[in-house]
Amino acid sequence: MKKIRRLIVSFGSVVLLMATFTVRSDSSLERGDQLKAVYLFNFTKYIRWPDSSFESKSEKISICVDAPAVFREFLGEIINNKRVGKAQQLLEVVSLDVAVDCELIYLVKRDNKLPITLNNSVIVTDSGDNYFPENEIKFYILDKKLRFEIDLDKFKKKNITVSSELLKLAKIK
Amino acid sequence: MKSFKYIASFLFCSQCFAQSTPSELAEMSFDELFFIDSSPSASTSPWTLGYAYKFAEYKGYLDGDSSLSNDEVLWEPGNEPRTSDNFPVVPTVITQEVHTVSLAYDISPQWQVSLLVPYIRQETDHISIVGNYETFVIETDGLGDITTQATYRWNTGSSETWAIGFGLRLPTGSIDEEGDTPRAPGDQELPYAMQLGSGSYDFPLDVRYKLSGKHQITLGASANIRTGTNDRGYRLGNNYKLTSQYSTAVSQKVDVFGGLSLVYSDSIHGQDDALLIDSPFPYPASITNPDLYGGKKVNLNIGLLWEATSDFYLKLDINKPVYQYLNGPQPKENWTGAFSLTKKL
């Protein structure tokens, strides 16, 4: 009986301890879009652009986003002053409308007319219809979980390197 | 105290997606992100409450893979000699019902800890050669062994998931259950099969591989490793299991599945001397002999999983042994059925 009482007390303590985890993210962005923003940031860690993409090592890696402002703001908070790669380059989020040069482009609209050249850009498109066939990465849903598909040939054509760690988790087209 | 500090720091690793700030989300790896439900209506709570009901029936006897009738196992004085394979008391039908309440907490997308509390009810019908006990029923019920466990999941591809689970099963179930048997007047200690717990600290372990997609394949290996000797002088046998399962969606909300499992169980080590009678053949029933437990089984199972809402699941599972090789004479498993409800809080 003593043993059971001890167990109940221990379990109660653990439940109280766990109940302190109630702080929620106050972002109004839907969970799926939050996830995509985190994925975009993670992509920059595993992709290496050719040196010719950058005028200097200190140049930033630009993630150009064709998505509502709330998405850009959320992604901005994710990448906040973070550096990636061997050269420890800073990341920045730019609206595609005003972008000049982009390393990563995220497209969600169907009528995208890209205002920039695509030579060194990795294009990521949202899940759904394959409306932008030039994409290198495409999000899709598997069992309610977000996944991504990589077109390796397109990466090779642009001389952009993808880490084997990223390929391991991707569906290869 | 040291272990409490460790557990507390482990729990405060606030990597759960729903509760994290953008800067914490930035620290999440693909491995963690891969486990997060991306549907807008999915619950963001790290808590999951579950209830499971399991029914098992044992009927008839096997010695190895040879069937024996109840009459063959029952010793009939005058007609046949007493041997180690016949008994004055024979359980004819054993039914077991287990109600389990579980509470799980996602520490991170990859780590989950859970607590399982079972309530067990067992009933055994007997026949015997003892006067006034020609037929009798014994029942036991109460709390079973509580299990705490941790599960870690990781990905090896866009659709391949692995999970490893390890736990501790506490000896909270009684091993002192008594009932009125023909062994003596009044209540006596009941056989191993009628007890509610193992009386020992047990360590459940399992490894699972899942290939997701339209056609889902799950492969698993699990074991229940028991340690020490309980207060009554015995230790139940270890269990080992290999499972394979195929499932596919038949509608947007319903998956059907079927599978095959191989189970091996050890016999009991040591014995409870209170179950013996003073005779050249000290075991009054097969279930009082520790050597007549365990064996090998091949089970076939079918079932369905219904996603009632994005955070409420119902599962039905029917399991039927298609081959059994038991250390016998031993009551054979007839079938088991399980029903479970899972709700994200």
Q: What is the pLDDT of residues A42-96, one digit of tens each?
A: 999 999 988 776 666 568 889 999 888 899 999 999 888 888 877 788 899 998 8
Tens of pLDDT, residue by residue over B193-211, are 999 999 999 999 999 999 9
Q: Between A and B, how many CB-CB pairs are < 8 A?
A: 111
* Residue A99 falls inside a structural domain: yes
* Residue A14 falls inside a structural domain: no
Q: Residue A7 is nearest to which of B44, B172, B212, comparing CB atoms? A: B172
Tally of domains within chain A: 1
Q: Residue A143 is nearest to which of B22, B31, B212, comparing CB atoms? A: B212
Contact B253, B307 (CB under 8 A): yes
Strand bridging mode A145-150 / A171-172: parallel
* Residue A53 falls inside a structural domain: yes
Measure the CA–CA gap between A157 and A172, rounded to whole angstroms: 16
* Residue A17 falls inside a structural domain: no
- As a dihedral over the C-alpha atoms of residue B321, residue B324, residue B329, residue B332, rounded to 10 degrees, the angle is 0
Residue B6 has pLDDT above 50, yes or no: no
What's the whole-number mean pLDDT along residues B69-74?
A: 95
Q: Please tell me the predicted confidence (pLDDT) of residue A169.
A: 87
Q: Please tell me the predicted confidence (pLDDT) of residue A59.
A: 80
* Residue A11 falls inside a structural domain: no
Q: Phi and psi of B288, rounded to 5°?
A: -95, -5
Q: Please tell me the predicted confidence (pLDDT) of residue B146.
A: 97
Q: Residue B155 is nearest to which of A17, A74, A169, comparing CB atoms? A: A169
How large is the ipTM? Answer: 0.73
Contact B177, B194 (CB under 8 A): yes
Look up the CATH number of the domain holding residue A93.
3.40.50
Q: Please tell me the predicted confidence (pLDDT) of residue B344.
A: 86
Q: Comparing A158-162, B28-32, B306-310, B335-339, which segment has the lowest mean pLDDT?
A: B28-32
The pLDDT mean for chain B works out to 91
The domain in which residue A66 lies consists of 26-172
* Residue A104 falls inside a structural domain: yes
Closest by CA position to B7, among listed B91, B113, B90: B113
Instruction: Check CB contact of B19 with chain A, cutoff 8 Å.
Output: yes
Question: Could you tell me which residue, B4 or B163, shows the higher pLDDT?
Answer: B163
Residue B81 CB-density burial (10 A; 0-12 exposed, 13-18 middle, 19+ buried):
exposed
- Which H helix or E strand runs over A10? helix A2-18
Q: Please tell me the predicted confidence (pLDDT) of residue A112.
A: 59
Domains, chain B: 41-344 (2.40.160.40)
What's the whole-number mean pLDDT along residues B62-70?
A: 96
* Residue A46 falls inside a structural domain: yes
Q: Please tell me the predicted confidence (pLDDT) of residue A98.
A: 85
Q: Comparing A2-6, A21-25, A41-45, A69-73, which segment has the lowest mean pLDDT?
A: A21-25
